[in-house]
C-alpha cells in the first residue's frame, strides 16, 4: 500500500493495516511492485481495503485470497486449491480401491 503501509491478514490479528517494519517482524522483507498507472494502483489499494477488519478464514478468506483479490479482482488461494485437488484425488483413489476390493 502507499505510505509504507501493509494490508495483512493473519489468524491472530485478522485483517488490518500495519507498517512494513511491523509486518516483517524483524525478518528480511521485500516489496514487489508491478508496473501500473496511478489509477490502477488506486484500484488495488481500494480492493485491499474493501474487507478490512474482517475475520481470517484459512479455507475461504485467507491472506492469499486477499492478495489475489487486491491484485486481480478475483479472490483465489493456490494453497487451498491445491489441497482441494489432493482431497479429490484421495477420494477417487479410495473409491477405486473399494471397487477393486469387491
Domain ranges of the chain: 2-75
Q: What is the 3-state secondary structure (H, E, C) of the chain?
A: CHHHEEEEEECCCEEEEEEHHHHHCCCCCCCCCCCCCHHHHHHHHHHHHCCCCCCCECCCECHHHHHHHHHHCCCCCHHHHHHHHHHHHHHHHHHHHHHHHC
Q: pTM for this structure?
A: 0.75
Residue with cell 500500500: 1
Residue 7 above 80 pLDDT?
Answer: yes
Residue with cell 495483512: 8
* pLDDT, average across residues 15-37: 93
* pLDDT, average across residues 31-38: 90
pLDDT of 75 = 93
* pLDDT, average across residues 41-55: 93
pLDDT tens, position by position, 63-102? 999 999 999 999 999 888 778 778 788 888 888 888 888 7
pLDDT of 15 = 95
Instruction: Cell numbers for 77, please give them.
Output: 488461494
**Average pLDDT of every residue of the chain:** 90
* pLDDT, average across residues 1-13: 91
Amino acid at each position: 500500500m502507499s505510505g509504507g503501509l501493509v494490508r495483512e491478514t493473519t489468524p491472530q490479528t485478522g485483517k488490518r493495516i500495519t507498517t512494513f517494519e511491523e509486518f516483517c517482524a524483524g525478518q528480511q522483507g521485500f516489496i514487489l511492485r508491478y508496473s501500473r498507472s496511478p489509477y490502477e494502483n488506486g484500484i488495488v489499494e481500494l480492493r485491499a481495503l474493501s474487507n478490512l477488519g474482517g475475520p481470517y478464514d484459512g479455507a475461504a478468506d485467507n491472506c492469499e485470497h486477499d492478495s489475489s483479490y487486491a491484485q486481480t479482482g478475483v479472490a483465489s488461494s493456490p494453497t487451498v486449491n491445491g489441497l482441494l485437488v489432493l482431497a479429490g484425488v484421495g477420494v477417487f483413489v479410495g473409491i477405486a480401491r473399494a471397487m477393486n476390493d469387491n
